[in-house]
Amino acid sequence: MCVCVCVCVCHVCTQVLRREFGVDLRILGITTSSQMLLRERGVDLDNWREEFKQHALPADLKAFGDFLAESYIPNRAIVDCTASDTPAEVRDTVGQRGFARCRCKTAVGA
């Protein structure tokens, strides 16, 4: 499961960034093709799987983007760890909303 790998890497990164540089990196949302988890103050990365199982909503990329756009967090980025192409309507609005987009395409031969 690609989401699992991405969250685990982010968890390690958040710890190093906080310890070494005083950077507070928060994961505000996690989405799969069918479900999403949104947390205004950040997802608890120690328990994200359980939190996802208990509190995930049906996936809605527009609602996901709206949630991030309305966040009080000043610097936002979307990390795309999917093998598929991001739907055009979401991809085109990322920059318009002030999000940085990091793409880690996982398809073989990509």
Per residue in 7-23, pLDDT tens?
656 777 788 888 888 88
Per residue in 29-53, pLDDT tens?
888 888 999 999 888 888 888 999 9
Q: Which residues pair with 36 in a beta bridge?
A: 31, 57
pTM over 0.85: no
Q: Which residues pair with 102 in a beta bridge?
A: 79
Cβ neighbors of 22 (< 8 A, separation 6 or more) are none
Per residue in 79-105, pLDDT tens?
777 666 655 556 555 666 777 767 665
Q: How many CA atoms lie within 13 A of 11 on its CB side?
A: 14
Quick check: 94 and 101 in contact, CB under 8 A? yes
